Amino acid sequence: MADVKVPVLGESITEATLGEWLKNPGDPVKLDEPIASLETDKVSVEVPSPVAGVMGDQLVKVGDTVAVGAVIATIGEGGGAAAAPATPAPAPAAPAVATGEQTGPGEQVRERGADAAALSPSVRRAVLETGVDPSTVQGTGRDGRLTKDDVVAAAAAKPAAAPAAAPIPAPAAPASGGRKEERVRMTRLRQTVAKRLKEAQNTAAILTTFNDVDMTEVVAARTKYKDLFEKKHGVRLGFMGFFVKAAVQALRDIPSVNASIEGEEIVYHDYADISVAVSAPQGLVVPVIRDAQDLSVAGIEKTIGDFGKRAKEGTLKMEEMKGGTFTISNGGVFGSLMSTPIINPPQSAVLGLHRIEDRPVVRDGQIVIRPMMYLALSYDHRLVDGREAVTFLVALKNAIEDPTRLLIDL
């Protein structure tokens, strides 16, 4: 009999919430196979089995808070992978159609035992939402594991005639015509985001300044070189690479925007660790591009692409979320026209990017149509003066409107 303990979760993190059991009592377990998912302040962490055997008692419930080092389950002696049956158990005679509270996708997932248990939390959630049978999908992740994109693609490819066996009746409206409510416990990540954002508003003197940028030259460069760029570097050429490079250059010229307050001291950084906001199934996460000042546009795009992929899979590491001297948040990918982002303490500023939209502007006395984007810089007025904030945005605007400046260091 072996105990399964909560692993070390990272510096200063002492507890987590049990988000999901990936194995049920009696299931065969391989060495290092994930048996549970923990939610920390920043990411989801899978708990591996310390031995091969059979899943024993589950000592805590989903939603319970557990400390680092606490025993959450036991693994009994057994054949591990060898103990798994050669063929899957017979499926239910009738297809799982959601006609009440009988068998839905969630029950199907639980019935698949070892295969379902190996899925990451984000993949299991996608399976539950789409009703896709994970055993019928070829995984493209590491070691052939399923990713969320695999499940979404399989759901999109499902034959349209599949549900035609019997129409699913709409839920009967309550006789009283009353309104329904659902209460869902906030995840630890959402609680932490809420706490930190409110602390930022309560502590920092946040002010936002705006500008707009003509994206003509960057759009043209991307259109001209995107195919060659992807062929050479194996990653798509996006706009974030340009903005990170431009931000790094502007941060060097206006160091207070890259600084932070600690007690009664101002800490200036001679490096640029750029936090990039990335959407994940469990909420917004902010991994950090370390030493962005030393990276090429290709290096930046590769790093961001890797962050986005692993955020969807729930495999970002704790240390990848820590630190950061400046944040860039791109609300434009969701269609945002303008916003006032909140700074990420202890940083002193955050840059908000928005959607590109054709608008009439005046150039050389003529009204022309140009692809324009609004920029927003929220900053801590305790540290950054208005003149510095505006100068930063103008420097960034100039670099984007004339990308040659990035090459000749202007």
pLDDT 10s digits, 251-293: 999 999 999 999 889 999 999 999 998 877 766 788 999 999 9
Say what the alpha-carbon torsion angle 257, 260, 264, 270 is, to the nearest 10 degrees: -80
H/E element, 358: strand 357-363
Tell me what percent of the residues of the chain surpass a pLDDT of 70.
Answer: 81
> What is the gyration radius of the CA atoms in the chain, in angstroms?
25
Three-state secondary structure call for residue 20: strand
Q: Report the alpha-carbon angle 99-102-106, nearest 5.
A: 105
Mean pLDDT across 94-119: 45
> Is a pLDDT exceeding 90 seen at residue 297?
yes
**DSSP one-letter string for 183-210:** --PPPHHHHHHHHHHHHHHHHS-EEEEE
In this prediction, residue 20 carries a pLDDT of: 84
Q: Where in the chain is the domain with CATH 3.30.559.10?
A: 206-408
Mean pLDDT across 106-124: 53
Tokens linked to 333: 């990918």
Per CATH, is 1-82 categorized as 3.40.50.970?
A: no
Q: Where in the chain is the domain with CATH 2.40.50.100?
A: 1-82
Mean pLDDT of the chain: 82
> Which among 360, 357, 362, 325 is positioned nearest to 338, based on CA atoms?
357
Mean pLDDT across 296-308: 93
Question: What does DSSP say about strands 326-330 and 349-353: parallel, antiparallel, or unpaired?
Answer: parallel
pLDDT 10s digits, 346-396: 999 999 999 999 999 999 999 999 999 999 999 999 999 999 999 999 999
Q: Which residue would you say has higher pLDDT here, 333 or 397?
A: 397
pLDDT 10s digits, 188-241: 777 777 887 888 888 889 999 999 999 999 999 999 999 999 999 999 999 999
Q: Where in the chain is the domain with CATH 4.10.320.10?
A: 119-157
Model confidence band, residue 107 (pLDDT cutoffs 50, 70, 90): very low
Tokens linked to 147: 């990713």
pLDDT 10s digits, 28-77: 988 888 888 887 766 677 888 889 989 888 888 888 888 888 898 998 88
Task: Give CA–CA dist 147/140, Å, rounded.
Answer: 7
CB count, 10 Å around CB of 211?
15
> Which among 255, 220, 222 is positioned nearest to 241, based on CA atoms?
222
> Is a pLDDT exceeding 90 seen at residue 399?
yes
In this prediction, residue 273 carries a pLDDT of: 96
> Which among 345, 367, 366 is positioned nearest to 358, based on CA atoms?
367
Read off the DSSP letter of residue 141: S
In this prediction, residue 198 carries a pLDDT of: 85
Q: Which residue has the tokens 């699913």?
A: 168
Tokens linked to 120: 């990451």
294 Cβ contact list (under 8 Å, min separation 6): none
Which architecture does CATH list for 119-157?
Irregular (4.10)
> Is a pLDDT exceeding 60 seen at residue 94?
no
CA distances from residue 388 to 41, 266, 380 in whole angstroms, order as listed: 33, 16, 11
Contact 7, 45 (CB under 8 A): yes
> Is a pLDDT exceeding 60 seen at residue 183?
yes
> Is a pLDDT exceeding 80 seen at residue 6?
yes
Tokens linked to 322: 């820590």
Q: Which residue would you say has higher pLDDT here, 125 or 247?
A: 247
> Which among 180, 45, 384 is positioned nearest to 393, based on CA atoms?
384
Q: Report, as residue numbers or ranges, the catalytic residues.
A: 381, 385
**Cis ω for the linkage preceding 7 (within 30 of 0):** no
Model confidence band, residue 171 (pLDDT cutoffs 50, 70, 90): low
Task: Give CA–CA dist 102/391, Å, rounded.
Answer: 62
Query: What is the dotted CATH code of the domain comprising 206-408?
Result: 3.30.559.10
In this prediction, residue 365 carries a pLDDT of: 94
> Which among 321, 328, 405 is positioned nearest to 41, based on CA atoms?
321
